[in-house]
Structure 1
Amino acid sequence: MRMARVGVLVDERMTAKRRRYGLNTFEGYITEILAHVGIPHQLLHSLREWNGNDWDVLIVALEDDDPADLERFYHWAESGGIVISYGGLDKLADKLACVRLRSLNEAYAHLPPASSGSYPPLRAFRVTPWTTPDASNIRIEAYGQVSERSPDAARDFDLLQRFAIGQGTIERFSVNIPAAIVALQQGLEPVLKDGLPAADGSASLNEGILKADDGMALDWEWDRLHTETGQAYFAYPYADYWREVCIGHLLEAVVNRGMTLPFIGYWPDGVNSVATISHDSDGNLDEHAWSTLDLLQQNQVQTTWCMLEPGYSASVYRRIEQDGHELAFHYNSLHLDNQIWDQTEFNRQLRWLQDAATVNQIRTNKNHYTRFEGWGELFRWYEEAGIVVDQTRGPSKGGNVGFLFGTCHPFFPIAWSDEDNRLYEVLEIGFLTQDMGIGPPWADDSIIAPFLAHTMRVEGVAHFLFHQVHIHTKPAVVEAFNRVVREARQAGFVFWTSAQIYEWEMRRRQIRITGVDEAGRTLVEDGTASSDAVVWVPIHANEVKQGDEEVRFGVRCLKQVVTAASRGE
């Protein structure tokens, strides 16, 4: 099988036009979606860089409105190319016998069941649907439907339209998938004011404290479910589902043309999903720490300790290090504690921790009370301070636990237009819930099973937060902790610290897939000499079973573990 060549166009002329008016180009986040899966691709800034003979697939993430460019896309598809768009190409609607309809600010996409399993209605934003006449000279296949606002509203519009053009296809989603993923993960706008509280009183976001969850893009009514105890939770990692839809469609398009497009597994060989536990040292009493350290030793699990000034005694820090835990930062900008949101104060508190614990490098931070303002300034502070992981994106209330940012995957956040929509060099590892077992209004432990199940489904990270003070003072919290560890291990999770997750993510991103040889083996360049990474090689549904294979992203894939031979050694 020949490996498909994938180009991604983010047109620099349209990008410049948008930035002139302070508009974002989140369409370019498709390159991060591909990079997270390790799919080989090349970013193009202009059609001047594009030779149609160099590519099999062109993802038109952002195009200019030059009619000549649009004609090139059309004629390239005629000659056998695959053109993919996420909510774009509007000026081609007439040529493709379609009519552009009014955009939908909020919508839900309905996907038919597939080999990868069924999806709930997927939340989306700013959808630009096309409609087609009853009669058309172009063969058009439709996949999925989109409804406005409510997930049970009338399903009027196609999610994906595949236009057969000569020997190739133009394949257009009505949803801007990359921008939808950004909106779910980071919000629709910067955090400048309180968020909308839940009508049932379970999550009063409007308490006058700016937090990460003030910027969530989910709906209290339509995006939450309830456990058997009545505990409300955000049930679905929508952003992770959209990643699967996007990648699955690309792989299917490639294998249906007799090619392949290898990609890299999320975790090392033998690991299906990862769980992580963090602690925030609120209260800062040594006895809280000793109780927590003893509990961790009993469960044989290493965790991440986010330290709030004034912290613990030196003997506690030594035990944390000796037991293999990660020492992290817990920045306090809560005005109720006479603290402020300020980079100078952030740096002062970080220096305090480094001095108190006698450590040179702190990799991870989680803000006290999940405090958050604006869009990207916190990530800029991290970059300057050498912090590479953020854990702040999680629930501050008992009624908004779960996947309130649409994901359980580690991801690199994207900047606003004032920073040219660059990617920050900070890995986000959000958490699902704070302590369980405290009692109302906080969540109970009935959420553990669905959280683990949904995280396992998308091969993400199940991140649970437990405060040392509650472990020390509340037996029900200890039982909830034990239940998390017990059920996670029974389900096949392994426990890593935040730093370990970061190290693995950076290792796997150094692996470069360079081709496929005549025997179907993937050729890679691996800057880390990893021997435990997995490469998946998609094959057509009709091919004879060849060995160790699984269905990934809805496509049959052969499993290969990176070895010295595959690295060309």
Structure 2
Amino acid sequence: MKLARLGVLIDEAAMKRLHSYGLNVFERYIEEILEHAGAPFETITDIRALDDRGFDIVIASVVPENEETAERLWQYAEHGGTLIAYGGLGLLARRLGCRQRPRTGAGYARLPEFRSVPAPLRCLSAQPWHAEDAGAGAIGALHASSPQGELVGPALQTFAVGRGAIHRWAVDIPTTVVQLQQGTRPVLHDGIPAPDGTADIDEGILKADDDIELDWEWDREKTATGMPYFAYPHADYWREALMAHLVRCALAKDRTLPLLDYWPEGTGHVALISFDSDFNEDERAVVTLDVLKKLQIPSTWCMIEPGYSPQVYERVLAEGHELALHYNALEKENGIWSLEEFTRQRQWVQSATGLARVVSNKNHYTRYEGWGELFRWCEANGIAADQTRGPTKRGNVGFLFGTCHPYFPIAWCDEGNRRYDVLEIGFLTQDLNHPNLSDTTVIEPFLKQVAKVGGVAHFLFHQIHIHRLEPVRQAIREVVGKARQMGFAFWTSKQINDWQRARRTMRVTGIDAAGQVRLERGTVNEPVAVWLPTSEAPESIQSPGIVYRYGVPCIKQVHHLTREEAEC
């Protein structure tokens, strides 16, 4: 089977025009989604180059809204290509025998045809089409407001056009992923608290969790002890739906789209334990180090001024832990929200610890405001990974930003919607068994969901609570024990960052006559699994590595560093 040529159309002139009106172009986040999946693709920056590039599949991500564009896209499909759009394509609606319906607000999508995609998926808006031509294919369903709400149309429609096809999603999936992960607007005021009183986020402190796009009623579940939690990583589900559809489109053209595993071969799932050093007493640090030594796991220590004694830092590093920054911008502690103060605190932690570079940061109290300021400050200070996006209350623990995957966030339109060079690694909960927070009944559902979608199970603790509260010490033991039983490996934030960045230097370059994927390894030395989707029946394939990924059978090929590569 040949490699599918996938093109992503992001017309630069169209994007500049939208930016000139102060509009965000989150549609371009499709590049981040594909890169994270390890899918090979090429970006097309001028729609006029579409005609002669020989793409099997083209995603119309950002295109000019004019008749010339409509004709070029139509001809591409008519000549045998598969055109995919996430919303948009209004100029082609009538030609495809459809009538555009008004844009909806938040709702839920069901995709029973994609068995690997859990249901329902939260969407923040949609623009369904009504097909007046019975020849259009309809996949899935959109429901208004709630998972059982009014049916407003199909989630995905397919149209035969000449020798090719046009597939149109009613939901702008890349924008949906962005808005679930980062919100729909800058954080400028307190958020709306949970109606049941379990998450009073409106306490006068601007934080990451002041702007979330999940529903307090429909997106939370309760454990057996009554602990509420956001149960569904909806952004990760949308990634799954997008890739499941792409894989099927490639197979329908007798092509395949290889995908890279999220973690090195032999690493089942990844967990992260991080600590915030609030109050900074050496005795608390020593007790925590003793607990970790018995558990035999590495962790990430986010340091706030004035920090610990030098001998504590020496032991932290000697025992395999990471030292990071815990930026304090909390006004009641005389914190300041500014680049200058962020830089000063970064310089302090380097001076105090003796580190040449600080790789990771987590903001004290998840203090956050605006849109991309924090990520710009991280970039300016050489900090490669951030952990700030997580819950602060008992009632909003879990997947409140729709994801457990590390990701590179996108900027607002004033920065051209570029991607920040900062890896965000959000956390699920903090200090389990603390009297004011969740108990340990959330551990198992969190680990199960993270394992399903392949992200990071990030649990935050504080040394002060490890020192003072035996229930919290028991909670960290329970996290580690259950995670190990489920095949999780514990990494530091730096290890996750280093791997994710190295993984993105790998490139699938082709498939040889024997069906082996050709792979440029970039800076990766570890063995890596490549998943090769196939349309053959699993029982007919002579391979021990057949696994269902994205709902289709995939041949697993493990690529090791060759002797020649090792010698380079």
Distance change >3 Å, CA 201–CA 163, structure 1 → 2: same
Q: Select 2:443's aligned residue among 448, 462, 465.
A: 448
Please state how far the C-alpha of 1:531 moved relative to its aligned partner. 3.9
**Any conservation in 2 of the 1:513–1:525 contact (CA below 8 Å)?**
yes
Give the TM-score taking structure 1 as reference length. 0.97
Paired letter, 2:126: V
Q: What is aligned with 1:555?
A: 552
Per-residue Cα deviation, 1:119-140 (whole angstroms, up to 9, x for no partner) = 121111221110112x44xx32
Please state how far the C-alpha of 1:486 moved relative to its aligned partner. 0.2
**Any conservation in 2 of the 1:104–1:148 contact (CA below 8 Å)?**
yes
Per-residue Cα deviation, 1:98-118 (whole angstroms, up to 9, x for no partner) = 0000001212111116442x5
Q: Is structure 2 residue 379 aligned with structure 1 residue 383?
A: yes
Q: Is structure 2 residue 222 aligned with structure 1 residue 226?
A: yes
Q: 2:221 is paired with a residue of what secondary structure?
A: strand
Q: What is the CA–CA distance in structure 1 between the aligned matches of 2:222 and 2:524, rounded to whole Å?
A: 46
**Any conservation in 2 of the 1:395–1:432 contact (CA below 8 Å)?**
yes
Paired letter, 2:190: D
Q: What is the CA–CA distance in structure 1 between the aligned matches of 2:252 and 2:241, rounded to whole Å?
A: 16
Q: What is the CA–CA distance in structure 2 between the aligned matches of 1:389 and 1:407, rounded to whole Å?
A: 16
Q: What is the CA–CA distance in structure 1 between the aligned matches of 2:115 and 2:50, rounded to whole Å?
A: 35
Tell me the number of residue pairs that the alignment of Structure 1 and Structure 2 aligns. 564
Give the TM-score taking structure 2 as reference length. 0.97
Identity of aligned residues (%): 49
Cα RMSD for the two superposed structures: 1.4
- Mapping 1:278-317, distance limit 5 Å: 278-317=274-313
Q: What is aligned with 2:41?
A: 41
Q: What is aligned with 1:87?
A: 87
Please state how far the C-alpha of 1:48 moved relative to its aligned partner. 2.1
Q: Is structure 2 residue 423 aligned with structure 1 residue 424?
A: no
Distance change >3 Å, CA 252–CA 122, structure 1 → 2: same
Q: Is structure 2 residue 351 aligned with structure 1 residue 347?
A: no
Q: Select 1:459's aligned residue among 447, 454, 459.
A: 454
**Any conservation in 1 of the 2:113–2:140 contact (CA below 8 Å)?**
no
Q: What is the CA–CA distance in structure 2 between the aligned matches of 1:248 and 1:24, rounded to whole Å?
A: 27
Q: What is the CA–CA distance in structure 2 between the aligned matches of 1:52 and 1:103, rounded to whole Å?
A: 35
Q: What is the CA–CA distance in structure 1 between the aligned matches of 2:6 and 2:564, rounded to whole Å?
A: 22
Q: What is aligned with 2:160?
A: 164
* Greater mean alpha carbon deviation, residues 534-543 or residues 353-362: 534-543
Q: 1:560 is paired with a residue of what secondary structure?
A: strand
Please state how far the C-alpha of 1:154 moved relative to its aligned partner. 2.1
Paired letter, 1:484: V
Distance change >3 Å, CA 556–CA 353, structure 1 → 2: same
Please state how far the C-alpha of 1:215 moved relative to its aligned partner. 1.3
Per-residue Cα deviation, 1:247-290 (whole angstroms, up to 9, x for no partner) = 11000110121111111110111222100000000111001100
Please state how far the C-alpha of 1:414 moved relative to its aligned partner. 0.2
- Mapping 1:310-329, distance limit 5 Å: 310-329=306-325
Q: What is the CA–CA distance in structure 1 between the aligned matches of 2:481 and 2:531, rounded to whole Å?
A: 30
Q: What is the CA–CA distance in structure 1 between the aligned matches of 2:53 and 2:209, rounded to whole Å?
A: 47
Q: What is aligned with 1:146?
A: 142
Q: What is aligned with 2:542?
A: 546
Please state how far the C-alpha of 1:52 moved relative to its aligned partner. 4.3
- Mapping 1:516-535, distance limit 5 Å: 516-535=511-530
Q: What is aligned with 1:407?
A: 403
Q: What is aligned with 1:472?
A: 467
Distance change >3 Å, CA 437–CA 262, structure 1 → 2: same
Q: 2:203 is paired with a residue of what secondary structure?
A: coil
Distance change >3 Å, CA 368–CA 564, structure 1 → 2: closer
Q: 2:405 is paired with a residue of what secondary structure?
A: coil
Q: 2:392 is paired with a residue of what secondary structure?
A: coil
Please state how far the C-alpha of 1:182 moved relative to its aligned partner. 0.1
Please state how far the C-alpha of 1:50 moved relative to its aligned partner. 2.1
Please state how far the C-alpha of 1:546 moved relative to its aligned partner. 2.9
**Any conservation in 2 of the 1:160–1:171 contact (CA below 8 Å)?**
yes
Q: What is the CA–CA distance in structure 1 between the aligned matches of 2:215 and 2:178, rounded to whole Å?
A: 16
Distance change >3 Å, CA 476–CA 405, structure 1 → 2: same
Q: What is aligned with 1:496?
A: 491
Q: Is structure 2 residue 437 aligned with structure 1 residue 438?
A: no
**Any conservation in 2 of the 1:524–1:566 contact (CA below 8 Å)?**
no
**Any conservation in 2 of the 1:142–1:159 contact (CA below 8 Å)?**
yes
Distance change >3 Å, CA 453–CA 113, structure 1 → 2: farther
**Any conservation in 2 of the 1:113–1:119 contact (CA below 8 Å)?**
no
Q: Select 2:212's aligned residue among 188, 204, 216.
A: 216
Q: What is the CA–CA distance in structure 2 between the aligned matches of 1:531 and 1:287, rounded to whole Å?
A: 38
Q: What is the CA–CA distance in structure 2 between the aligned matches of 1:262 and 1:151, rounded to whole Å?
A: 33
Q: What is aligned with 1:366?
A: 362
Q: Select 2:177's aligned residue among 145, 160, 181.
A: 181
Distance change >3 Å, CA 506–CA 567, structure 1 → 2: farther
Q: 1:126 is paired with a residue of what secondary structure?
A: coil
Q: What is the CA–CA distance in structure 2 between the aligned matches of 1:78 and 1:530, rounded to whole Å?
A: 44
**Any conservation in 1 of the 2:360–2:493 contact (CA below 8 Å)?**
yes
